[in-house]
Amino acid sequence: MTETFTTADGIRLAYDVQGSGVPLLCLAGLTRNMDDFEPVVEHFASRAQIIRLDSRGRGASDHADPATYTIPQEGADALALLDHLGLERAAILGTSRGGLIAMVLAATAKERLAGVLLNDIGPELDPEGLAHIMDYLGRPSAYRSYDDAAEKLPKALGAQFPDVSFDQWRTYARRIWSEGPRRLELRYDPRLREAVEAASVTGDVPDMWPLFDALDDLPLALLRGENSNLLSRACLNEMQHRRPEMITAEVANRGHVPFLDEPESLAVIERFLAEIEAA
């Protein structure tokens, strides 16, 4: 059952806690929400306390001033949730932007982390993937219903996600959009686009490798979609070079991002949790 808490600046954030065991905080991608982690709850609530957060402006959380849609602020919100739950430390499963948040927290509040699992994200972002994100960020949906989306998504995304069934695409659509009277509607604040544009206005690309290196001494795992357009294989190779013990898998027939229900994804999560438990 979704619950809420209020941040120091008065924003009501939605979260969900299910299961028992080691705390695993799930942080979603840029425009996504806690529903992306339904497979994690289904498969691992028997051995982990699965904590899912809707970042500000996403899912069931309040919209906020777009100037606060930043990775440092969203990291502070994640720590505020841990404080609200009375947890000193948690492992993080971070999808895309959620993984960037985890890396920032490793550099700024490492004592709060028990480990990090990065889902299709690293310290270098492929320009092709960034351009694709800007193509849809903040734009109205092109689909009338979940069924309409399930029929048309293979044409839009099939190159990255071949061999996805109608039912899987329908689930994908349900997690991203809500059904409105005329079309599917965004489940995030469209002004998120303003925040991303403001962050990139200088054209400078920060060096994020120090953030990745800040994960040293923490249990670390990585999933990469075989067809990802955001996490390149070259970046993956360098991450493995720097952290050869990192639990790693490439997920077949997936782009950015894996759905987390694939055999490769479940195996990595299983190994990651075992490492956290052992630590």
The tens digit of pLDDT for each residue in 58-112 reads 999 999 999 999 999 999 999 999 999 999 999 999 999 999 999 999 999 999 9
Question: pLDDT (tens digit, 9 = 90+) per residue, 110-159?
Answer: 999 999 999 999 999 999 999 999 999 999 999 999 999 999 999 999 99
- Reported as a single tens digit per residue, the pLDDT across 181-212 is 999 999 999 999 999 998 876 556 789 999 99
pLDDT at 202: 58
| Cβ pair 97, 31 in contact under 8 A | no
Interatomic CA distance for residues 232 and 107, integer angstroms? 23
**3-class secondary-structure state, position 64:** coil
- In this prediction, residue 206 carries a pLDDT of 85
- Establish how many alpha carbons lie within 13 A of residue 155's alpha carbon, considering only the half-sphere containing its beta carbon: 7
% residues pLDDT > 90 (the chain): 96
The full DSSP string for 158-203 is TTTS-S--HHHHHHHHHHHEEE-SSSEEESB-TTHHHHHHHHTTT-
pLDDT tens for residues 149-187? 999 999 999 999 999 999 999 999 999 999 999 999 999
Contact call for residues 256 and 95 (beta carbons, < 8 A): no
Q: What is the pLDDT of residue 200?
A: 76
pTM of the model: 0.97
Each residue's pLDDT tens digit, 242-268: 999 999 999 999 999 999 999 999 999
Mean pLDDT computed over 19-41: 98
DSSP 189-249: -TTHHHHHHHHTTT------HHHHHTTTTS-EEEEEETT-SSS-HHHHHHHHHH-TT-EEE
Measured CA to CA, the distance from residue 241 to residue 263 in angstroms comes to 25
53 backbone dihedrals φ, ψ, rounded to 5°:
-120, 135
Give the angle 69-102-135 at the CA atoms, nearest 5°: 45
Predicted pLDDT of residue 1 = 81
Half-sphere exposure of residue 126: CA atoms within 13 angstroms, side-chain side: 18
**Domains of the chain with CATH codes:** 3-136+205-278 (3.40.50.1820), 139-187 (no CATH)
What integer pLDDT is reported at residue 203 of this predicted model?
59
CB atoms within 10 A of CB 210: 11
- Find residue 179's DSSP bridge partners: 184
Helix or strand run (H / E) with residue 266: helix 263-278
Q: How do 90-95 and 22-27 pair as beta strands?
A: parallel
- Phi/psi zone of residue 70: left (φ > 0), alpha (ψ -120 to 50 degrees), beta? beta
